[in-house]
Chains A and B, each alone.
Chain A
Amino acid sequence: MRLTVNGKSHEVNVDPATPLLWAIREHVGLTGTKYGCGVKVCGACTVHLDGKPVRSCVIPSSAAVGRQVTTIEGLAAGGALHKVQKAWVDNEVPQCGYCQSGMIMAVAALLKDKPKPTDADIDATITNICRCGTFQQVREAIHAAAKA
Chain B
Amino acid sequence: MTMLKMDRRSFVIGSATVGAGLALGLKIPFGPDVVRAEDGSPEVNAWVVIRPDDTVVIRVARSEMGQGTITGLAQMVAEELECDWSKVTTEYPTPGQSVKRKRVWGDFSTGGSRGIRTSHEYVRKGGATARVMLVQAAADQWKVPASECTVANSVITHKPSGRTTTYGKVAEAAAKITPPANVALKDPKEWKLIGKSVKRLDTLPKVTGAQVYGADLKLPGMLTAAIKDCPVFGGKVQSFEAAKVSGMPGVKHVLKVGESAVTVVADTWWQAKVALDALPIVWDEGPNAKVSSADIAKMLEAGLTADQAFVGNSNGDVKAGLASAAKKIEATYAYPFQNHAPMEPMNATAKYTPDKCEVWVPTQNGEAAFAATTAASGLPADKCEVYKINLGGGFGRRGAFHDYVTQAVLIAKQIPGTPVKLLWSREEDMMHGKYHPVMQAKLTGGLDASGNLTALQFRLSGQSIIAAVFPQNLQNGRDFLTFQGLHPSGDFGFGYTVPNLMIDHAMRNTHVPPGFWRGVNINQNAIFLECFMDELALAAGQDPLAFRRKLMANHPKHLAVLNAVADRVGWGKPAPQGVHRGLAQMMSFGSYVAACAEVSVTGGDKIKVQRIVAAIDTGYTVNPAQVERQMAGSFVYGLSALFMEECTVKNGRIEQTNFPAYDSMRIAQMPKVEAIVMPSGGFWGGVGEPTICVAAPAVLNAYAAATGKRVRTFPLKNHGITLV
- Which A residues contact B (CB, under 8 angstroms)? 15, 18-19, 22, 25-27, 29-39, 41-42, 44, 71-73, 75-76, 81, 85, 88-89, 92-101, 104, 122-124, 126-139
- Which B residues contact A (CB, under 8 angstroms)? 65-68, 199-200, 202-213, 215-216, 218, 224, 249, 268-270, 341-345, 390-395, 423, 425-426, 625, 629, 632-637, 640, 658-660, 664-668, 670, 672-673
User: Top 8 A-B pairs ranked by shortest CB distance?
Assistant: A32-B209, A133-B636, A98-B392, A95-B66, A97-B206, A96-B66, A133-B633, A123-B668
Query: Is the beta-carbon distance between A38 and B426 smaller than 8 angstroms?
Result: yes
Query: Is the beta-carbon distance between B670 and A139 smaller than 8 angstroms?
Result: yes
With both chains docked as a complex, state the minimum distance between the C-beta of A107 and any C-beta of chain B, in angstroms. Answer: 10
The one of A15, A37, A92, A127 in contact with B629, judged by C-beta atoms closer than 8 angstroms, is: A92
Q: Which residue of A lies closest to B216 (CB)?
A: A31
Query: Is the beta-carbon distance between B270 and A95 smaller than 8 angstroms?
Result: no
Query: Is the beta-carbon distance between B207 and A85 smaller than 8 angstroms?
Result: yes
Query: Is the beta-carbon distance between A135 and B667 smaller than 8 angstroms?
Result: yes
Query: Is the beta-carbon distance between B658 and A133 smaller than 8 angstroms?
Result: no
With both chains docked as a complex, state the minimum distance between the C-beta of A23 and any C-beta of chain B, in angstroms. Answer: 8
Query: Is the beta-carbon distance between B391 and A96 smaller than 8 angstroms?
Result: yes
A31 to B209, CA, bound (A): 7
Query: Is the beta-carbon distance between B269 and A22 smaller than 8 angstroms?
Result: yes
A49 to B268, CA, bound (A): 23
Q: Which residue of A lies closest to B518 (CB)?
A: A131
Query: Is the beta-carbon distance between A94 and B66 smaller than 8 angstroms?
Result: yes
A72 to B211, CA, bound (A): 11
Query: Is the beta-carbon distance between B268 and A136 smaller than 8 angstroms?
Result: no
Contacts of A122 in B (CB 8 A): 667-668
- Scoring B67, B199, B665, B666 by chain A CB atoms within 10 A of each residue's CB, the highest score goes to B666
User: Contacts A92-B199, A131-B341, A136-B670; is A37 near B206 (CB within 8 Å)?
Assistant: no
With both chains docked as a complex, state the minimum distance between the C-beta of B661 and any C-beta of chain A, in angstroms. Answer: 10
Query: Is the beta-carbon distance between B209 and A136 smaller than 8 angstroms?
Result: no
Query: Is the beta-carbon distance between B343 and A81 smaller than 8 angstroms?
Result: no
User: Contacts A22-B270, A123-B668, A129-B664; is A73 near B203 (CB within 8 Å)?
Assistant: no
Interchain Cβ contacts under 8 Å between A and B, 19 examples:
A22-B268, A29-B218, A32-B209, A36-B659, A76-B208, A89-B203, A89-B207, A92-B199, A92-B200, A94-B206, A95-B67, A97-B390, A98-B213, A98-B344, A123-B667, A124-B668, A127-B667, A131-B341, A132-B637
A123 to B532, CA, bound (A): 34
A129 to B625, CA, bound (A): 22
Contacts of A26 in B (CB 8 A): 224, 268-270
With both chains docked as a complex, state the minimum distance between the C-beta of B668 and any C-beta of chain A, in angstroms. Answer: 3
- Scoring A15, A92, A128, A137 by chain B CB atoms within 10 A of each residue's CB, the highest score goes to A92
Please give 6 more A-B residue pairs, beta carbons under 8 A apart, in addition to A39-B426, A97-B390, A131-B395: A31-B215, A35-B423, A97-B207, A127-B667, A129-B666, A136-B632
With both chains docked as a complex, state the minimum distance between the C-beta of B654 and any C-beta of chain A, in angstroms. Answer: 16
Query: Is the beta-carbon distance between A31 and B268 smaller than 8 angstroms?
Result: no
A31 to B222, CA, bound (A): 15
Query: Is the beta-carbon distance between B203 and A131 smaller than 8 angstroms?
Result: no
Query: Is the beta-carbon distance between A126 and B667 smaller than 8 angstroms?
Result: yes
Contacts of A94 in B (CB 8 A): 66, 203, 206-207
- Scoring A18, A32, A132 by chain B CB atoms within 10 A of each residue's CB, the highest score goes to A132
Q: Which residue of A lies closest to B667 (CB)?
A: A135
The one of A30, A85, A139 in contact with B667, judged by C-beta atoms closer than 8 angstroms, is: A139
Query: Is the beta-carbon distance between A96 and B210 smaller than 8 angstroms?
Result: no
Query: Is the beta-carbon distance between A44 and B343 smaller than 8 angstroms?
Result: yes
Contacts of A129 in B (CB 8 A): 343, 659, 664, 666
Query: Is the beta-carbon distance between B629 and A137 smaller than 8 angstroms?
Result: yes
User: Contacts A41-B659, A92-B199, A104-B207; is A136 near B343 (CB within 8 Å)?
Assistant: no
With both chains docked as a complex, state the minimum distance between the C-beta of A38 and any C-beta of chain B, in angstroms. Answer: 6
Q: Which residue of A lies closest to B659 (CB)?
A: A41
The one of A22, A32, A127 in contact with B208, judged by C-beta atoms closer than 8 angstroms, is: A32
With both chains docked as a complex, state the minimum distance between the C-beta of B446 and any C-beta of chain A, in angstroms. Answer: 39
Contacts of B343 in A (CB 8 A): 34, 36, 42, 44, 96, 98-99, 129-131
Query: Is the beta-carbon distance between A130 and B636 smaller than 8 angstroms?
Result: yes
Contacts of A131 in B (CB 8 A): 341-343, 393, 395, 636-637, 640, 664
Q: Which residue of A lies closest to B692 (CB)?
A: A133
A35 to B209, CA, bound (A): 13
The one of B209, B633, B660 in contact with A101, judged by C-beta atoms closer than 8 angstroms, is: B209
A36 to B664, CA, bound (A): 13
Q: Which residue of B lies closest to A139 (CB)?
A: B667
Q: Which residue of A lies closest to B344 (CB)?
A: A98
Contacts of A41 in B (CB 8 A): 658-660
Contacts of B203 in A (CB 8 A): 88-89, 92-94
A127 to B204, CA, bound (A): 23
Contacts of A32 in B (CB 8 A): 208-210
Contacts of B659 in A (CB 8 A): 36-37, 39, 41-42, 129
Query: Is the beta-carbon distance between A133 and B392 smaller than 8 angstroms?
Result: no
Query: Is the beta-carbon distance between A73 and B199 smaller than 8 angstroms?
Result: no
